[in-house]
Structure 1
Amino acid sequence: MTATRTAMILDAGFASLPLQRAIKTAGFTTLVCSGKPHDAGMKSADIAKVQNYADCDAVLAIAREYKIAAITPGVTDVSYLTGSRVAAELGLPGFDTPDVSDTLFLKDRFRVWAEQQGYPIPRAVRGAEEARHLPFPLLVKPIDAYSGIGITLVQQAAELDDAVAKARSASQNGECVIETFCQGALYSHSAFIRGGEIVCEFFVDEFCTVYPWQVNSSSLSLSLTESMRDRVSECMQTLVRQLQLVDGLLHTQFIANDNDFWLIELTRRCPGDLYSRLIELSTGVDYSSEFVAPFLGCQHATAFLARRPAHLRAIARHTISSDVDTHFTGYLFAPLAARIIETIPLKLPGDRLEPAPRDRAGLVFAEFDDVAELARLTPQLKNYFSFKTT
């Protein structure tokens, strides 16, 4: 009997489950590494190792112990940054070099590089004194946090010191970046690269209606013009070539208005909260399998059918969350002109539900009859999908 190869996954959260399934479908044994032993991915793994994957040396030791054939990130920045270092040490595919990875993932480093290269980004500085010379309002962010944790919108100079302290306390490295606040709508661009070229891409409308710096409602974009899509795509293609990015996903959040756009965050991990499922339901593209393929060393058997796949179904994704610390007892669904097609529970009755962005009660995918209703109601989904506390 031929032994299967082992692929290590650096994430056990619920949003990594589609990636784990895709890896198993590709014929690999899954070795999941996480410091959270009760997370969903640990329960479905072939092998589960309780280890904080921020510790590169510990992860490398486990990788060598199990003689892994592949390593994949999950939906966190740390999973990719650790993975890039372990992959470089073991000669495994799918990751950019650690230096390129740091340039993309660390907000302060990316801002410096992008400004030098002339990319459209907010103006940014590192310290409060420098920031006093920028036009207000300003956003103060940790350089390496996620889900909007530690972010403050500052309206005047007197608020800077407290905002900087908050951001630094949320940063693993104790550092922050201060940038000009760009006015516009929030979008994401998710692109698959093959041979240095973007061969398939998706644009998504994103809304932050509970916590202002964390997306909780989204759908395939209906508001972004074709000309703006072309401009963003050309910009990202230039970046792919300039940094010589390896095959795989490049996921970008950006802000756009009628005339301009600004790159906000770039990542090469899989976006969270089952973004992969939103794309799969909306277009039929197997996003999860395409994401893991380069890390597994898989050759692409078929070409994408279109660079911008058709919007086949009017699907919205909503993350149910709270703006206060409370306890969850069940879901509340108000009448809505849509069909609930999937619900992913993340809490049990009686569980504590912390305020967003640190917690969530569940996810809902809903299908509308037409894109007009999808566009109208997606920004309002928090009024239809909620939870009980008593």
Structure 2
Amino acid sequence: MSRVLLLDTNLSAYPIHQFLVGQGHDVFVLGGNPDDYLAKISKNYIQYDYSDRIHMPAILNHYKVDYLVPGCNDLSYIVCAELNEVTVFNGIDSVATTHVLNNKKQFRQFAIENKIPVPVLLTESEALDQLPVIVKPVDSYSGRGVTVIRKRDDCALQEAITLSKSQSRSGQYLIEKYVQGQLLSHSAFLKDQRIMLDFFVEEQCIASPFAVDTSRVVTGLSCEMSENIRRVVEQMAANLGLADGLFHSQFIMQDDDYRIIEVTRRCPGDLYSLLIEYSTGIKYADMYTNPFLGNPQVVVGTPSTKLIVRHTITTPEETYFSSIKFIRPVKQVGYFSLARSGDQIGLAPLGRIGIFFTESDSQEEQALIYDELTRRVLYVIE
């Protein structure tokens, strides 16, 4: 029986874990929080904070790990890339490539050199002459440490820089021209640096302006827009020599134009994999995981079409959680609780109550649910 180490204990990695167990592997999960979902359900939980890399090689040797699988956060993939430099595993890019993709500043510079459409990168001295601008950490997630500056205010800019640096693991930040438009994501599965299958998802940030909490698969992008994005992804894959597997990006669309704002090779969080699986029948987590096991990149699942909306329940203010009351009935196809009654919930995006998936019988019904969620009138947090 092969031994697999999954570097994540969060609920979002649950579909990955289930696939590995179903394939008959002896699965170990590693993370610092024993209250995480996988830490509780796994018979092979290793309590260790993998941000402290020093003992990771020894752990691999001690548990005789055959396969290493990154989870659903950037740090997990970065640590896997670093370990891959010591012991070669399947499907993992080099450290240099990983930093280009995961460090926002390095990615912007790579994109500019390769004529890839990204927001305009600015220096601190240029920022107040290019309003509005956005200040963000180069390596944070879920919108932490992000500020938009709309008025000429040097004090506000300095405060934004200080905040971004405080939320960055490396203490670094970037400033760029703020781009407003529709946020979308593109998940592409690569084989020989070409896209074999991909999905576009519309995303909304409701409770917090820079953290996605509502999304649905979309098929209505223009052929020109979707083909342009695919061409750019394949260009990046070729230029960086990417291994087979997932390439996930977020971009902002303005009419017929777009700007890529973030790219990654790890599985997206908040059970994004189930959004794709419920909507399309494609087993996203299985396809994500296969290259790390040395398996060929093939389509897994039976294609189908369902009208699914994914929503992460958060709150724009701190509160004690009691229950969720829906204003009207909806067809839920999945609910995953992240909080218990009596828990104190932090304001979004730090505090999350649960993730649910709804199915609609028509485009009109899905549009209504989507609208009610964006206006925060479909349910009440009690």
Q: TM-score, normalised by structure 1?
A: 0.93
Matching of residue 371 in structure 1 with residue 366 in structure 2: no
What is the deviation of 1:223? 4.6
Residue 60 of structure 2: which of 63, 73, 83 is its match?
63
Structure 2 vs 1, CA of residues 175 and 199 (structure 1 numbering), >3 Å: closer, same or farther?
same
Describe the superposition over 1:133-184 as per-residue Cα deviations: whole angstroms up to 9, x where unpaired.
4x21111111111011111111124121011111111011111111111121
**Percent identity over paired residues:** 33
Matching of residue 162 in structure 1 with residue 156 in structure 2: no
CA contact under 8 A between 1:200 and 1:304: conserved in structure 2?
Answer: no
3-state SS in 1 of match to 2:331? strand
Describe the superposition over 1:245-265 as per-residue Cα deviations: whole angstroms up to 9, x where unpaired.
100100000001212000000
3-state SS in 1 of match to 2:352? coil
What is the deviation of 1:55? 2.0
Aligned to 1:109: 106
- Structural mapping, 1:328-367, within 5 Å: 328-336=321-329, 338-367=330-359
Matching of residue 141 in structure 1 with residue 136 in structure 2: yes
Matching of residue 83 in structure 1 with residue 80 in structure 2: yes
- Alignment partners' CA distance in 1, 2:101 and 2:371: 29
Structure 2 vs 1, CA of residues 378 and 303 (structure 1 numbering), >3 Å: closer, same or farther?
same
- Alignment partners' CA distance in 2, 1:24 and 1:56: 26
What is the deviation of 1:132? 3.1
CA contact under 8 A between 2:103 and 2:139: conserved in structure 1?
Answer: yes
Quick one: which amino acid aligns to residue 338 of structure 2? Answer: L
Residue 48 of structure 1: which of 45, 49, 60 is its match?
45
3-state SS in 2 of match to 1:329? coil
3-state SS in 2 of match to 1:21? helix
Describe the superposition over 1:29-61 as per-residue Cα deviations: whole angstroms up to 9, x where unpaired.
111110111101112223111111112222222
After superposition, the CA RMSD in angstroms is 1.6
Aligned to 1:214: 211
CA contact under 8 A between 1:88 and 1:97: conserved in structure 2?
Answer: yes
Residue 318 of structure 2: which of 307, 319, 325 is its match?
325
Q: Which moved more, 1:181-190 or 1:54-63?
A: 54-63
**Paired residues, number:** 378
Aligned to 2:24: 27
Q: TM-score, normalised by structure 2?
A: 0.95
- Alignment partners' CA distance in 2, 1:220 and 1:385: 22
- Alignment partners' CA distance in 2, 1:70 and 1:207: 35
- Alignment partners' CA distance in 2, 1:145 and 1:93: 26
Runs of 4 or more, structure 1, over 6 Å off, are: none
Aligned to 1:153: 148
Describe the superposition over 1:56-85 as per-residue Cα deviations: whole angstroms up to 9, x where unpaired.
222222111111001111111000000111
> Unaligned stretches of 5+ in structure 2?
none
- Structural mapping, 1:153-232, within 5 Å: 153-158=148-153, 159-232=156-229
> Unaligned stretches of 5+ in structure 1?
none
CA contact under 8 A between 2:29 and 2:42: conserved in structure 1?
Answer: yes
